[in-house]
Chain A
Amino acid sequence: DVKVTQSSRYLVKRTGEKVFLECVQDMDHENMFWYRQDPGLGLRLIYFSYDVKMKEKGDIPEGYSVSREKKERFSLILESTSTNQTSMYLCASTTGVNTEAFFGQGTRLTVV
């Protein structure tokens, strides 16, 4: 069974803290994505990566950075959290062209 694993299901952080969200896939997929999901806004793409050490900005990259040092791992970094980053974060991976995405279970981040 294919698997995308996110390191945490729930996180509570204080404003200004640094946060790492980790995502690991075991399918040898080239592409990995980070989305945030908010009510009424659907999934909005933060960053994606189509190869190791490669990254592309999505629609809402401000306040986020990413790291992909190994093919199977894609990390989302929030350098200094703010309350407007409270959200559900979803990681996904695909093998390439015209294939479906496989999603992790999501991390619900609350910034207080």
Chain B
Amino acid sequence: AQSVTQPDIHITVSEGASLELRCNYSYGATPYLFWYVQSPGQGLQLLLKYFSGDTLVQGIKGFEAEFKRSQSSFNLRKPSVHWSDAAEYFCAVGPYSSASKIIFGSGTRLSIRP
């Protein structure tokens, strides 16, 4: 069965520190992977996506993610976080066909320490 696991429920980092949010997936074929961010009270916004090609993808707001097939991972990174990065982050996989659903992880809440 397809699934996405985000092992960290809540992470706190200091402003200016580096960040890595973990995502592992289980998928039967080549995955199509996404990271979304949700600010409080808002809908989800796409940060970045991976379909094929270069395994290091760049996104908005200075985020990047690396696809590692051997580890079934798609971790999100940022070299220096800002207070405005405090939000909830979701990893997602799919859809692999036109009549298929997107599968989301349970999310990681990021807090920023001043």
Q: Which residues of B contact A45 (CB under 8 A)?
A: 101-102
Interface residues on B, range: 20 to 34
Summarize B's interface: helix, strand, loop or mixed: loop
A25 CB, nearest partner CB in chain B, Å: 12
Q: Which residues of A contact B6 (CB under 8 A)?
A: 42
With A42-B107, A100-B34 known as contacts, the answer to whether A94 contacts B43 (CB < 8 A) is no
Q: Is A90 positioned at the interface, with any CB of B under 8 Å from its CB?
A: yes
Q: Are B102 and A92 in contact (CB under 8 A)?
A: yes
Q: Is A96 positioned at the interface, with any CB of B under 8 Å from its CB?
A: yes
Q: Which residues of A contact B34 (CB under 8 A)?
A: 100-101
Partner of B98, one of A30, A35, A106: A30
With A97-B95, A98-B51 known as contacts, the answer to whether A33 contacts B46 (CB < 8 A) is no
Partner of B90, one of A31, A42, A48, A50: A42
Q: Is B106 positioned at the interface, with any CB of A under 8 Å from its CB?
A: yes
Q: Are A56 and B99 in contact (CB under 8 A)?
A: yes
With A58-B101, A106-B42 known as contacts, the answer to whether A40 contacts B106 (CB < 8 A) is yes
Bound-complex Cα distance A35 to B99 (A): 16
With A40-B9, A42-B106 known as contacts, the answer to whether A31 contacts B43 (CB < 8 A) is no
Q: Is B97 positioned at the interface, with any CB of A under 8 Å from its CB?
A: yes
Bound-complex Cα distance A101 to B102 (A): 8
Closest to A50 in B: B99
Give chain A's interface residues, CB within 8 Å of chain B. 4, 30-31, 33, 35, 40-43, 45, 48, 50, 56, 58, 90, 92, 94, 96-98, 100-106, 108
